[in-house]
Protein backbone atom coordinates (compact mmCIF):
# COMPACT_ATOMS: atom_id res chain seq x y z
CA UNK A 1 0.00 0.00 0.00
CA UNK A 2 1.28 3.47 -0.90
CA UNK A 3 1.19 5.76 2.12
CA UNK A 4 0.03 9.37 2.04
CA UNK A 5 3.59 10.49 2.78
CA UNK A 6 4.92 8.50 -0.18
CA UNK A 7 2.31 10.05 -2.43
CA UNK A 8 3.52 13.49 -1.39
CA UNK A 9 6.86 12.76 -3.07
CA UNK A 10 10.43 13.71 -2.12
CA UNK A 11 10.22 17.28 -3.44
CA UNK A 12 7.25 18.13 -1.26
CA UNK A 13 8.81 16.50 1.80
CA UNK A 14 11.98 18.56 1.32
CA UNK A 15 9.86 21.70 1.02
CA UNK A 16 8.10 20.89 4.28
CA UNK A 17 11.43 20.50 6.06
CA UNK A 18 12.59 23.98 5.06
CA UNK A 19 9.21 25.74 4.76
CA UNK A 20 6.78 23.89 7.03
CA UNK A 21 4.14 26.63 7.34
CA UNK A 22 1.45 27.38 4.79
CA UNK A 23 0.41 30.66 6.41
CA UNK A 24 -0.02 32.62 9.64
CA UNK A 25 -3.29 33.99 10.98
CA UNK A 26 -1.96 36.94 13.00
CA UNK A 27 -4.77 37.30 15.53
CA UNK A 28 -7.67 35.29 16.92
CA UNK A 29 -9.79 35.36 20.07
CA UNK A 30 -11.74 32.24 19.09
CA UNK A 31 -9.20 29.45 18.63
CA UNK A 32 -7.37 29.35 21.97
CA UNK A 33 -9.71 29.35 25.01
CA UNK A 34 -9.27 32.45 27.17
CA UNK A 35 -6.20 33.69 25.29
CA UNK A 36 -5.41 36.04 22.44
CA UNK A 37 -3.41 34.07 19.91
CA UNK A 38 -2.16 33.59 16.39
CA UNK A 39 -2.46 30.44 14.27
CA UNK A 40 0.47 28.80 12.49
CA UNK A 41 -0.81 26.55 9.71
CA UNK A 42 1.48 23.58 9.09
CA UNK A 43 1.32 22.26 5.52
CA UNK A 44 0.49 18.62 4.88
CA UNK A 45 -1.81 16.07 6.49
CA UNK A 46 -2.03 12.32 7.07
CA UNK A 47 -5.80 12.26 6.49
CA UNK A 48 -7.99 13.00 3.49
CA UNK A 49 -11.34 14.11 4.92
CA UNK A 50 -13.80 15.00 2.17
CA UNK A 51 -15.30 17.95 4.09
CA UNK A 52 -11.89 19.53 4.74
CA UNK A 53 -12.05 23.19 3.72
CA UNK A 54 -8.25 23.61 3.68
CA UNK A 55 -7.21 21.58 0.61
CA UNK A 56 -4.52 24.13 -0.22
CA UNK A 57 -2.92 23.42 3.18
CA UNK A 58 -3.35 19.65 3.04
CA UNK A 59 -2.05 19.27 -0.52
CA UNK A 60 0.08 22.38 -1.00
CA UNK A 61 3.69 23.15 -0.18
CA UNK A 62 4.73 25.30 2.75
CA UNK A 63 5.44 28.96 2.00
CA UNK A 64 7.00 30.13 5.27
CA UNK A 65 10.13 28.90 7.02
CA UNK A 66 10.63 28.26 10.72
CA UNK A 67 12.68 31.47 10.80
CA UNK A 68 9.80 33.42 9.25
CA UNK A 69 7.44 32.16 11.95
CA UNK A 70 9.86 32.92 14.80
CA UNK A 71 10.48 36.41 13.46
CA UNK A 72 6.74 37.03 13.43
CA UNK A 73 6.41 35.75 17.00
CA UNK A 74 9.23 37.98 18.24
CA UNK A 75 7.27 40.97 16.98
CA UNK A 76 4.21 39.73 18.89
CA UNK A 77 5.85 39.14 22.26
CA UNK A 78 3.88 41.02 24.90
CA UNK A 79 0.95 41.44 22.47
CA UNK A 80 -0.28 37.86 22.10
CA UNK A 81 -0.69 35.24 24.82
CA UNK A 82 -0.74 32.05 22.80
CA UNK A 83 0.18 30.24 19.60
CA UNK A 84 -2.08 27.68 17.93
CA UNK A 85 -0.25 24.97 15.97
CA UNK A 86 -2.74 23.78 13.38
CA UNK A 87 -2.86 22.53 9.80
CA UNK A 88 -3.13 20.34 7.84
CA UNK A 89 -1.79 18.22 10.65
CA UNK A 90 0.93 19.81 12.74
CA UNK A 91 2.20 16.51 14.19
CA UNK A 92 3.35 15.31 10.75
CA UNK A 93 6.14 17.93 10.81
CA UNK A 94 9.30 16.36 12.28
CA UNK A 95 10.44 19.70 13.70
CA UNK A 96 7.28 20.39 15.67
CA UNK A 97 8.59 19.58 19.16
CA UNK A 98 11.77 21.63 18.91
CA UNK A 99 9.82 24.52 17.38
CA UNK A 100 7.25 24.40 20.19
CA UNK A 101 10.10 24.53 22.71
CA UNK A 102 11.30 27.78 21.14
CA UNK A 103 7.77 29.18 21.22
CA UNK A 104 7.40 28.31 24.90
CA UNK A 105 10.80 29.88 25.66
CA UNK A 106 9.49 33.12 24.16
CA UNK A 107 6.72 33.18 26.76
CA UNK A 108 3.76 31.99 24.68
CA UNK A 109 1.25 29.33 25.67
CA UNK A 110 0.89 26.62 23.02
CA UNK A 111 -2.29 24.97 21.76
CA UNK A 112 -2.13 21.93 19.49
CA UNK A 113 -4.89 21.09 17.01
CA UNK A 114 -4.52 17.43 16.05
CA UNK A 115 -6.30 14.47 14.47
CA UNK A 116 -4.51 12.15 16.90
CA UNK A 117 -2.71 9.91 14.39
CA UNK A 118 0.70 10.60 15.98
CA UNK A 119 0.36 9.54 19.62
CA UNK A 120 4.16 9.36 19.83
CA UNK A 121 4.49 13.06 19.01
CA UNK A 122 1.72 14.06 21.43
CA UNK A 123 3.33 11.96 24.19
CA UNK A 124 6.72 13.57 23.63
CA UNK A 125 5.25 17.06 23.72
CA UNK A 126 3.38 16.27 26.93
CA UNK A 127 6.52 14.81 28.51
CA UNK A 128 8.50 17.92 27.55
CA UNK A 129 5.68 20.19 28.82
CA UNK A 130 5.44 21.91 25.44
CA UNK A 131 1.66 22.22 25.16
CA UNK A 132 -0.96 23.91 27.32
CA UNK A 133 -4.15 22.92 25.53
CA UNK A 134 -5.13 20.32 22.92
CA UNK A 135 -8.07 20.21 20.52
CA UNK A 136 -8.52 16.61 19.36
CA UNK A 137 -10.65 15.80 16.32
CA UNK A 138 -12.64 12.58 16.78
CA UNK A 139 -13.44 12.05 13.13
CA UNK A 140 -15.64 8.94 13.25
CA UNK A 141 -16.25 5.68 15.11
CA UNK A 142 -14.07 2.73 13.97
CA UNK A 143 -16.49 1.35 11.39
CA UNK A 144 -16.79 4.75 9.67
CA UNK A 145 -13.21 5.93 10.14
CA UNK A 146 -11.88 4.96 6.71
CA UNK A 147 -14.87 6.42 4.87
CA UNK A 148 -14.42 9.76 6.63
CA UNK A 149 -10.61 10.06 6.83
CA UNK A 150 -9.22 7.89 4.04
CA UNK A 151 -7.15 5.96 6.62
CA UNK A 152 -7.55 2.81 8.72
CA UNK A 153 -5.59 4.24 11.64
CA UNK A 154 -8.32 4.41 14.30
CA UNK A 155 -6.15 2.47 16.82
CA UNK A 156 -3.49 5.20 16.63
CA UNK A 157 -6.12 7.87 17.23
CA UNK A 158 -7.44 5.86 20.18
CA UNK A 159 -3.98 5.76 21.76
CA UNK A 160 -3.82 9.56 21.63
CA UNK A 161 -7.29 9.84 23.14
CA UNK A 162 -6.39 7.46 25.98
CA UNK A 163 -3.13 9.33 26.55
CA UNK A 164 -4.97 12.62 26.97
CA UNK A 165 -7.70 11.11 29.14
CA UNK A 166 -5.13 9.62 31.53
CA UNK A 167 -3.41 12.93 32.26
CA UNK A 168 -4.73 16.02 34.01
CA UNK A 169 -2.02 18.64 33.51
CA UNK A 170 -3.07 19.77 30.02
CA UNK A 171 -6.66 20.74 29.26
CA UNK A 172 -8.15 19.27 26.11
CA UNK A 173 -11.33 19.31 24.10
CA UNK A 174 -12.80 16.85 21.61
CA UNK A 175 -14.47 17.90 18.36
CA UNK A 176 -16.46 16.04 15.71
CA UNK A 177 -17.42 17.43 12.30
CA UNK A 178 -20.63 16.03 10.83
CA UNK A 179 -21.87 15.77 7.25
CA UNK A 180 -25.00 13.66 6.80
CA UNK A 181 -23.42 11.80 3.87
CA UNK A 182 -20.78 10.47 6.29
CA UNK A 183 -22.13 10.43 9.85
CA UNK A 184 -25.57 10.28 11.46
CA UNK A 185 -26.97 10.52 14.98
CA UNK A 186 -26.02 6.93 15.75
CA UNK A 187 -22.39 7.63 14.86
CA UNK A 188 -22.25 10.72 17.07
CA UNK A 189 -23.83 8.75 19.92
CA UNK A 190 -21.22 6.02 19.44
CA UNK A 191 -18.49 8.66 19.74
CA UNK A 192 -20.03 10.13 22.90
CA UNK A 193 -20.40 6.65 24.43
CA UNK A 194 -16.78 5.80 23.64
CA UNK A 195 -15.58 9.05 25.17
CA UNK A 196 -17.45 8.33 28.39
CA UNK A 197 -16.06 4.79 28.50
CA UNK A 198 -12.51 6.13 28.23
CA UNK A 199 -13.04 8.58 31.07
CA UNK A 200 -13.44 11.83 29.12
CA UNK A 201 -15.29 14.37 31.23
CA UNK A 202 -15.25 17.39 28.96
CA UNK A 203 -17.70 18.52 26.31
CA UNK A 204 -17.99 17.06 22.83
CA UNK A 205 -18.15 19.86 20.28
CA UNK A 206 -20.32 18.75 17.35
CA UNK A 207 -19.87 21.04 14.36
CA UNK A 208 -21.69 21.01 11.04
CA UNK A 209 -19.55 20.59 7.95
CA UNK A 210 -19.65 23.78 5.87
CA UNK A 211 -20.13 23.39 2.12
CA UNK A 212 -20.21 26.62 0.11
CA UNK A 213 -20.15 27.04 -3.69
CA UNK A 214 -17.17 29.41 -3.67
CA UNK A 215 -15.16 27.50 -1.04
CA UNK A 216 -13.45 24.36 -2.41
CA UNK A 217 -13.34 21.20 -0.31
CA UNK A 218 -10.87 18.34 -0.38
CA UNK A 219 -13.67 16.01 -1.50
CA UNK A 220 -16.73 16.33 -3.70
CA UNK A 221 -19.43 16.64 -1.06
CA UNK A 222 -22.61 18.56 -1.75
CA UNK A 223 -24.31 20.71 0.91
CA UNK A 224 -25.73 18.63 3.79
CA UNK A 225 -29.24 17.40 3.21
CA UNK A 226 -30.30 17.69 6.82
CA UNK A 227 -29.06 18.64 10.26
CA UNK A 228 -28.68 16.35 13.24
CA UNK A 229 -31.58 15.78 15.61
CA UNK A 230 -29.95 17.61 18.50
CA UNK A 231 -32.78 17.03 20.95
CA UNK A 232 -32.69 13.25 20.42
CA UNK A 233 -28.92 13.13 20.76
CA UNK A 234 -28.83 15.17 23.95
CA UNK A 235 -31.42 12.84 25.51
CA UNK A 236 -29.35 9.71 24.72
CA UNK A 237 -26.09 10.59 26.49
CA UNK A 238 -24.96 12.12 29.75
CA UNK A 239 -21.91 13.62 28.01
CA UNK A 240 -22.29 17.35 27.47
CA UNK A 241 -22.73 18.14 23.76
CA UNK A 242 -21.81 21.55 22.39
CA UNK A 243 -23.52 22.01 19.01
CA UNK A 244 -21.80 24.56 16.78
The per-residue pLDDT for 3 is 33
Q: Which of 102, 23, 97 is nearest to 62 (CA)?
A: 23
Per the CB < 8 A criterion, the answer to whether 77 and 106 are in contact is: yes
pLDDT beneath 70, residues of the chain: 1-17
The per-residue pLDDT for 214 is 87
The CA-based angle 41-42-44, given to 5 degrees, is 125
The per-residue pLDDT for 12 is 52
The per-residue pLDDT for 20 is 98
Name the CA dihedral angle for 4, 221, 30, 235, rounded to a multiple of 10 degrees.
-110
Per the CB < 8 A criterion, the answer to whether 92 and 46 are in contact is: yes
175 three-state secondary structure: strand
pTM: 0.92
The per-residue pLDDT for 10 is 52
Euclidean distance between CA atoms 234 and 240, whole angstroms: 8
> Which of the listed CATH numbers 3.40.630.30, 3.20.20.70, 3.30.420.40, 3.40.50.720 matches domain 4-243?
3.20.20.70
Amino acid sequence: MVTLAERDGPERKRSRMTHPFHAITPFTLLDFPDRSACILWVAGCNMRCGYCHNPEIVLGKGELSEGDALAFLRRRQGLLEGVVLSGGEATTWPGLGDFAAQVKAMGFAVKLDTNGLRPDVVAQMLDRMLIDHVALDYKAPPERFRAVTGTVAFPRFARTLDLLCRQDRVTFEVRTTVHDALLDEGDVLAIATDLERRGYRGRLAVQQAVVEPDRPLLGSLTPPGRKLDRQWLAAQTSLALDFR
